[in-house]
Amino acid sequence: MIIGSGKPIKDILAMIEGYTKILIVGCRGCVTVCSAGGEKEVGILASAITMARQAGGKPIEIKEVTLERQCDPEYLEQIRSTVDEYEAIVSLACGAGVQFVAEKYRKIPVFPGINTNFIGVTEEQGVWTERCQACGDCKLHLTGGICPIARCSKSLLNGPCGGSANGKCEVNPEVACGWQLIYDRLKELGRLDQLEVIIPINDWSTSRDGGPRKIIREDLKL
Amino acid sequence: MFVAACMEGDCHYLTGNLRARKRVEYAKKILDAVGIGGERLEMYNMSAADGPRFVNVASEMTERVKTLGPNPIKKFLTTNSEERLNEET
Amino acid sequence: MTSDSRLEKILERGEFAVTSECGPPRGADPEVIRKKGELIKAAVDAINVTDNQTSVVRMSSFSSCIILKQMGIDPVLQMVTRDRNRIALQSDILGASALGINNILCLSGDHQKFGDHPTAKNVYDMDSIQLIQTVKRMRDEGKFLGGEELKGVPRLFIGAVENPFADPFEFRVVRLAKKVAAGVQFIQTQCIFNLERFHTWMEQVRDRGLHEKVHILGGVTPIKSLGMANYMKKEVPGMDVPDELIARIKGVDKEKRAEEGIKICVETIQQLKVIEGVHGVHIMAIEWEEMVPRIAEEAGLLPRPQIK
């Protein structure tokens, strides 16, 4: 899922400075799972902003709404009648959701309440780690199910580099060396032979390097 | 405001007081960030049978609040309600 | 011969080669490189210039190599894939060959987090193995990566590094095998302090017959102080400094430690000379370049053979 984390309150306060009626919109998708932008976080942010503004002598009116998702137009329609009453929206969705709200409601400024961090997984409650870089050309079958592009700090396709020590990446002792993980997994699978083959230079045009991407499914379009 | 929780290891729900500790710490940070001050919130571990400790903690918090003075929101609300009262009369 | 490289000639003749390196300055003063080059030129067959090593911005390896070339030295252009994409790398390969640089060392490069610009975007369009393939393709097939023909084929002696002391240990020789398959002709290893582990690695190298396909130069570094030894042991990933070595340095009075470091370095070289499959030595005397001629002398490597 997409992992995000809340922006510092002072940054959000700076964005809404001067506005007296705002709408905070949460999302029940990924950001709820990683406790960054769900209904609960919307409530906490609304309280915090209310308190901060009252303490500063500049009260603010806040409406809280949490949508099923902010990345599908049907769900965004649900707030169509509400938005006209507000001066600004703070969206706690991922970057895609924030932008979609802004696209649908062009006359009202839309601000991001969280930072979108990465595509990842829940290792334990409260700990999320990156797994995928959305390169558009999945190679997991070549590396025992562990991604060299996302999990190697240098995205090497023929790693590890000389800085791998005790299974850790030279960049950060808390980060596992992606290629050590790949090596260990292929050893467990009895497929170390896969590592004797040189993986050729990558085609990065399917990743963000090739420009903003679009997928069209003709079989699903009318 | 203070939160009274059972001694660590004695929680009937096993981790309830540990989660409470984490949440109180988080709430204190938010209170600091919004200008209210995290010192106005504290959590204390104590046994339900320990009356004297409860009294000590309550006294400690009372003293702390006296030193800190009214929180800025109260000041804002009081001023506003006075104004509204004056308008109505 | 795939290039006009003096290093290639020495190795093809079966002589024990000697290389060293210069770190370029953190500024635009060419004298820094010239002075370092002067200090070591008589003691070596080729001089490497590092490429923004540890991600710290320095005068480029390319320009420093030209300065050395102008002094009659045969430089080794180090190229990391961290900072330049395939377009820039192929472009520089052509430029290097055009300016008479004969040796190229292909590396991935230290991550930018180590250096003075940790907020930079990194490139890593390719890795070191793919870079070796790229140079070989341009040189032997006369083609760009995209498939089009070059007009004027570069002549370059291709090198890379290998670290017998990084993890996973059992995989290091496989990685060397991949570099050989990619077309590498010479390897400089990370500096060797743990000779036992190096021997084990060389055994694995020989088991695969790799010593007959690539020239291996063992890396050595003279230890200047106890602080340096401890730093390398604890702070540098992929370096193996045995406790016995630390003890040996410690066992000597402070003023005599640098001398002991030189002694250890010379002993290491002498041991490397007799290992089957080791065809030379790469002396990395970081900020101590003036010691290189002495180390080469005491290890019996001077004078360097005359080549024409």
Q: For the segment C54-87, what is each residue's pLDDT rounded down to a tens digit?
A: 999 999 999 999 999 999 999 999 999 999 999 9
Question: Angle, to 10 degrees, between the axis of helix C128-136 and the axis of helix C86-98?
Answer: 50
Rounded-to-integer distance, Cα C74 and Cα C41, Å:
9
The DSSP annotation for C259-291 comes to HHHHHHHHHHHHHHHTSTTEEEEEE--TT-GGG
Instruction: List CB contacts (< 8 A) between B76 and chain A.
Output: 54-55, 57, 59
pLDDT at C168: 86
Rounded-to-integer distance, Cα A168 and Cα A180, Å:
8
Q: Who among A48, A54, A59 is closest to B30 (CB)?
A: A48
Q: Who among B31, B33, B76 is closest to A54 (CB)?
A: B76
- Contact (Cβ atoms closer than 8 angstroms) between residue C22 and residue C33: yes
pLDDT at B88: 58
The separation between the first and the last C-alpha atoms of chain C, rounded to the nearest angstrom, is 14
CB contact under 8 A, A168 and C175: no
Please tell me if residue A163 touches chain C, with a CB cutoff of 8 Å. yes
Average pLDDT, chain C: 95
What would the pLDDT profile of A162-203 be if each residue is shown by its tens digit? 888 889 998 888 999 999 999 999 999 999 999 999 999 999
pLDDT at A9: 96
- Which letter, b or e, does each residue of C63-92 get, where b requires 16 or more Cβ atoms within 10 Å of its Cβ? ebbbbbbeeebbbbbbbbbbbbebeebbeb
CB contact under 8 A, A51 and B73: yes
Distance from CA of B57 to the nearest CA of A (A): 26
Neighbours of C119 (CB within 10 A): 6
What would the pLDDT profile of C219-271 be if each residue is shown by its tens digit? 999 999 999 999 999 888 778 999 999 999 999 999 999 999 999 999 999 99
Name the pLDDT band for B87 (thresholds 50, 70, 90). low
- Fold adopted by C6-298: TIM Barrel (3.20.20)
CB contact under 8 A, C238 and A177: no
pTM of the model: 0.91
- Contact (Cβ atoms closer than 8 angstroms) between residue B28 and residue B41: yes
Name the pLDDT band for C1 (thresholds 50, 70, 90). confident
What would the pLDDT profile of B36-84 be if each residue is shown by its tens digit? 999 999 999 999 889 999 999 999 999 999 999 888 888 778 776 666 6
- Provide the residue ranges of all domains of chain C, joining segments of one domain with +: 6-298
- Contact (Cβ atoms closer than 8 angstroms) between residue C138 and residue C183: no
Please tell me if residue B77 touches chain A, with a CB cutoff of 8 Å. yes
Q: Who among A156, A200, A201 is closest to C108 (CB)?
A: A156
Look at the block and give the residue holding tokens 């020239």: C215
Q: Report which of C272, C278, C259 is spatially closest to residue C212, judged by C-alpha positions.
A: C278
- Contact (Cβ atoms closer than 8 angstroms) between residue C264 and residue C256: no
Neighbours of A157 (CB within 10 A): 22
Please tell me if residue A153 touches chain C, with a CB cutoff of 8 Å. yes
In sign, the C-alpha dihedral spanning C71, C77, C78, C82 is positive
CB contact under 8 A, A54 and B72: yes
pLDDT at C166: 87
Q: Report which of A115, A113, A126 is spatially closest to residue A9, judged by C-alpha positions.
A: A113
In sign, the C-alpha dihedral spanning C171, C175, C180, C185 is negative
CB contact under 8 A, A160 and C174: no
Please tell me if residue B69 touches chain A, with a CB cutoff of 8 Å. no
Residue A54 burial class via C-beta count within 10 angstroms: exposed 0-12, middle 13-18, buried 19 and up: buried
Kindly tell me whether chain C and chain A come into contact, counting contact as 3+ Cβ pairs under 8 Å: yes
Residue C12 burial class via C-beta count within 10 angstroms: exposed 0-12, middle 13-18, buried 19 and up: middle
| Residue C288 structure tokens | 């101590």
| Residue A105 structure tokens | 């409601």
CB contact under 8 A, A171 and C113: yes
CB contact under 8 A, B73 and A56: no
- Contact (Cβ atoms closer than 8 angstroms) between residue C180 and residue C216: no
Assess whether pLDDT exceeds 60 at residue C19. yes
Rounded-to-integer distance, Cα C110 and Cα A26, Å:
41
Distance from CA of C292 to the nearest CA of A (A): 25
- Contact (Cβ atoms closer than 8 angstroms) between residue A111 and residue A125: no
Q: Who among A167, A171, A198 is closest to C129 (CB)?
A: A198
C122: left (phi over 0), alpha (psi -120 to 50) or beta: beta
| Residue C15 structure tokens | 């002589």
pLDDT at A192: 95
Kindly tell me whether chain B and chain A come into contact, counting contact as 3+ Cβ pairs under 8 Å: yes
Nearest CA in chain A to B30: A48
Instruction: List CB contacts (< 8 A) between A48 and chain B.
Output: 30, 33-34
- Contact (Cβ atoms closer than 8 angstroms) between residue A56 and residue B35: yes
Identify the structural domains of chain A with CATH numbers, from first to last: 2-118 (3.40.50.2300), 134-210 (no CATH)
Name the pLDDT band for C154 (thresholds 50, 70, 90). very high
Alpha-helix runs per DSSP H in A107-190: 148-151, 178-188
What would the pLDDT profile of A69-116 be if each residue is shown by its tens digit? 999 999 999 999 999 999 999 999 999 999 999 999 999 999 999 999
Please tell me if residue C169 touches chain A, with a CB cutoff of 8 Å. no
Rounded-to-integer distance, Cα C238 and Cα C242, Å:
13
Rounded-to-integer distance, Cα C84 and Cα C77, Å:
14
Distance from CA of A45 to the nearest CA of B (A): 9
pLDDT at B82: 65
Q: Cα dist. B82→B75, B86, B87, C290 in Å?
A: 11, 6, 9, 83
pLDDT at C107: 96
Please tell me if residue C175 touches chain A, with a CB cutoff of 8 Å. yes
Q: What is the DSSP letter of C145?
A: T
Distance from CA of B73 to the nearest CA of A (A): 5
N residues, chain C: 308
pLDDT at A198: 96
